[in-house]
Amino acid sequence: MTPVAARRPLLPVQDQTMARSPAILLKEPAAAVSTPPMQEKPRAAFLTPSRYEPYAGDAYAHVDVIGRGAFGLVTKMRCRADGGLVAMKTVDRSRLHTAYLQKTAHREARTLRRLGAHPHIVALREVIECERSIHIVLELVDGCTVAELCSRAADGRLGTADAATIAAQALAALAHCHAHRVCHRDVKADNLLVDPARLDGSVKLIDFGIAAVWREDGAPLTRADGATAYMAPERVARRPYQGAPVDAWALGVVAATMLTGALPFQGASEAELRDNILGGRSNLGPPGLLSPSCLNFLGKLLAPEPSERVSAAAAAGHPWLQYPS
């Protein structure tokens, strides 16, 4: 990959009021041409209580409001049956004004049901349908996003051992997704949760709102939602693409960001960012920052041609993850 001189630090974490459990963030899917990732997006508009139907059943007791998003309310609830805490997304049906948004509202639940239980994927408890609202009950995840973890670190980057620990768990989550023909399509540092006090075993992949299931015959996907800075070249070029390789590329971007403290592909504008991704103009820090083994690991994930890109399952066996340096 050709180096590019300009570097910017990792963006500040968005929606800090919801940092305790970003697994429950309610967001509107990004448009095919997304906002340049080096600019902080405005917070979603809050909803007034009259715009959604609060949960009124007997199974859960209200504990606290965690946040509000573009589509509804996010609440911490206590399960009356076992006393455990959960996160409840209350989605306002009146905001689902297109067929795509109506599908998106249920996509996360359908995808999580398909994936079943996995230690590194946020768990779905249930979905409760009401006349004006959809209540999606998820596990409540303590900790912070990988983006926030990096922002707390010196120079915005993690140590190689910590980065390898997080990457290995994220790859395990993606390998499970791909074994079930699920493409996440929005893998990024903001969609990986981790407990800073217990990195090993605590990583969770979240936010399956724009995930896709590819067909058994391997027909390519086409939609280009998501953050441009994490998009593989084939998605930036708006070509039909295979699901697994684009997720592998995005995880490579996450890994590079953890190790260097900045996104590897940047640009002063959306057009420049896209040109740099298509031209392979990345920045992985000054010479000597990353070891040859680490660079080899990143190079396999960030291979420009999807046919040459390593799979998540194969990347999980890379020597650098076992012996990070």
Catalytic residue numbers read: 186
Q: How many helices (H) and strands (E) does the chain have?
A: 9, 12
2-3 and 281-282 strand pairing: parallel
How many CA atoms are closer than 13 Å to the CA of 120, on its beta-carbon side?
20
For residue 282, the surrounding DSSP H or E stretch is strand 281-282
Which of 228, 208, 210, 211 is closest to 277 using CA atoms?
Answer: 228
Tokens of 128: 């409760």
What is the rounded CA–CA span in Å between residue 289 and residue 187? Answer: 25
SS3 44: coil
Which of 46, 300, 6, 8 is closest to 171 using CA atoms?
Answer: 300
